[in-house]
Amino acid sequence: MKPAAPVALTAYAASIAAANWLTTRYGLIPLAPGVTATAGTLAAGAALLARDLIQDTAGRAWVLAGITAGAALTWTTSPTLALASTVAFTAAELADMAIYTPLRDRGWARAVLASNLVGALLDTLLFLWLARFPLTTATVTGQLVGKVAWATLLPVTVITAVRRWRRAVPRYAQQP
């Protein structure tokens, strides 16, 4: 287990709990004209990215521990959302893992983008259905915009740009 693993695991469980707390508190919110999402969409999207970090730093078994911790935290807020969230996150994370793992050796950004797209779609459809939110074009689009564009594409773009910049900056030899 790498030193960053506890931070990634904490961020993961906290983002699951935050997504469900925000959704319990605020329900559906407008994102743009004709597009809505649950209030916890961005936090749920962050969970998809944190899942990949957990796999890289601690291993796949810890992803399931994170889902369990997030579900336990959510249960105190809403048992209904805890059940919907646990089922949706588990299915989405298993699909995410099945895609991320074989693609990881071909590049981090590629693996994250592909796996999070599938994970976000599966999580969105299952969660909205199980939590009894309307499955409409407006809600599905809103969830995917939040999870894929804002919580996945934006951070991956920033991280990739920083990595490229760091590789381009000359490394100076240490002075004796």
- Nearest by Cα to 55 from 94, 14, 110, 106: 94
Total domains in the chain come to 1
Judge whether 77 lies within some domain.
yes
What contacts 32, CB < 8 A, 6 or more positions away? Answer: 142
CATH number of the domain at 42, please: 1.10.1760
Assess if residue 62 is contained within a domain: yes
pLDDT in tens, 20-52: 899 999 999 998 888 999 999 888 878 877 888
In this structure, is residue 21 part of a structural domain? yes
Task: Kindly state the average pLDDT of the residues 134-160.
Answer: 90
- Domain-located, residue 174: no
Residue 166 has pLDDT above 80, yes or no: yes
Evaluate whether residue 175 is within a structural domain.
Answer: no
Q: Is residue 56 part of a domain?
A: yes
Q: What is the mean pLDDT of residues 1-27?
A: 89
**Residue 154 near residue 49, CB atoms below 8 Å:** no
pLDDT of the residue at 167: 85
Q: What is the pTM of this model?
A: 0.84
DSSP 3-state of 77: coil
DSSP code of residue 169: S
Query: What distance lies between CA 79 and its chain's CA centroid?
Result: 21
Helical residues (DSSP H) of 27-104, grouped into ranges = 41-57, 60-75, 79-103
Q: Please report whether residue 176 resides in a domain.
A: no
| 98 found inside a domain | yes
Q: Domain range spanning residue 137?
A: 5-168
